A and B are shown apart, each in its own frame.
Chain A
Amino acid sequence: MAVETAERPEAHEVTQEVQTDTSRFQRYRVRTGMFAWMAHRLSGLALVGYLVVHIWGLRALTSPEAFNALIAKYHAPIYKVGEFLLLVAVAYHAMNGLRIVLIDFLGWSPNQKKLFWTLGAVTAVIIAVGGYPSIYALVDHYFLS
């Protein structure tokens, strides 16, 4: 035990005034890992929102006429944009999900940045190929016909 002297009294617990910034949003440099996670969260939330609209669309399944009328509405240009964004969200969410599985299940953590860029390239190809019909339909609607 420390010797107690007049100059150096025994230490007492001091209640300090502590400044805490408890916000869950902190300013921090965004690198690949955090970008991948944020985009995963946002695309996931977007897909949940889409799912609600999608299920809601099924309300028209009561009669063939009502269903056809609803489906006809989906040919409007705004839905082509939505179709494309849906593909972007699904393709990214699926590929980054695969990345997380490879990291967590197979221990591919040391290659996480390479994985991000490789699967990012695959995502871009999926979006380009799969999104062509929607984009073509849009271009056709506004510029060609």
Chain B
Amino acid sequence: MQLNVEIKRYNPEADDAPHWESYEVPADPLDSALSLLLHVKWHIDGTLSLRKSCAHGICGSDAMQINGENKLACSVLVQDLVDSDGETVRFAPLPSAPVIKDLVIDQSRFFEKYRSVKPWLINDEPAPERERLQSPEEHEMIEDATKCIMCGACTHACPSTWADPDYLGPAAMLKAYRYTFDSRDRGTDERLDVVDSEDGLWKCYTIFNCNQACPKEIDITRWLSALKRKAVTS
């Protein structure tokens, strides 16, 4: 099938503002959306910039807005975006993120927020001889949250993030949940100080854009709600 691919282009050295450009791209319904972009880059216009690495939904490099929703370009098939020949697929960088060039965004603020929730094991108790054990039941609590690949699709899909760039966002607070509810962790108070704040949990209005955007289908809102309950009960 022949598709019309529209990409929001921006070159800081030549353009004052981002603009849309169209390309005719041959595609198979079972191709990934990423392959449409790579066809443009490799056969039509080599100046197109985008991030991709593994192309198999593990590294989380190619999160972008595709047909109005945040998705991982490598993890969505052409047949799930269009029904027939000649239809349009639109690619834009993640909404509200600073754009460096074309589809490449500046992720520094995203990772600052990530680091602010102390995403590591906090436990001063003496380490056991071999390892800190966790039962399967205890792991099940955080299993879903451990699947996060830090692609940023959720945080940049959140209207609270659009309105308040300092809002921690779903990705960072999901990490806070993942460690707070880890049976081996003792850092609940430290982490709640960060998330139970003006720019934290209480700006989550259960809009569910994060759940919809997550390529790993993590029920982010559910875990943020659990963190909210933890914050008010402890």
Assess the B162–A26 pair: CB atoms within 8 A: yes
Question: Is residue A28 within 8 Å, beta carbon to beta carbon, of the partner chain?
Answer: yes
Min CB–CB distance A45 → chain B (angstroms): 14
Assess the B159–A109 pair: CB atoms within 8 A: no
Min CB–CB distance A7 → chain B (angstroms): 23
Assess the B18–A34 pair: CB atoms within 8 A: no
Question: Is residue A29 within 8 Å, beta carbon to beta carbon, of the partner chain?
Answer: yes
Residues of A within 8 A of B99 (CB): 18-21
Assess the A23–B12 pair: CB atoms within 8 A: no
Assess the A103–B18 pair: CB atoms within 8 A: no
Chain A residue nearest to B92 in the complex (CB): A27
Assess the A26–B225 pair: CB atoms within 8 A: no
Question: Is residue A12 within 8 Å, beta carbon to beta carbon, of the partner chain?
Answer: no
Min CB–CB distance B221 → chain A (angstroms): 5
Give complex CA distance A76, B67 in Å: 48
Question: Is residue B157 within 8 Å, beta carbon to beta carbon, of the partner chain?
Answer: yes
Within 8 A of A (CB), among B209-228: 209, 211-212, 219, 221-222, 225-226, 228
What are 28 of the A-B contact pairs (CB < 8 Å)? A17-B12, A18-B99, A19-B10, A19-B99, A20-B97, A21-B99, A22-B96, A22-B165, A26-B159, A26-B162, A28-B68, A28-B69, A28-B95, A28-B209, A31-B208, A33-B207, A33-B209, A33-B211, A33-B212, A34-B159, A36-B207, A37-B159, A37-B206, A105-B229, A107-B225, A109-B206, A109-B221, A109-B225
Residues of A within 8 A of B (CB): 16-29, 31-34, 36-37, 100, 103-105, 107, 109-110, 112
Residues of B within 8 A of A (CB): 10, 12-13, 17-18, 65, 67-69, 95-100, 106, 157, 159, 162-163, 165, 205-209, 211-212, 219, 221-222, 225-226, 228-229
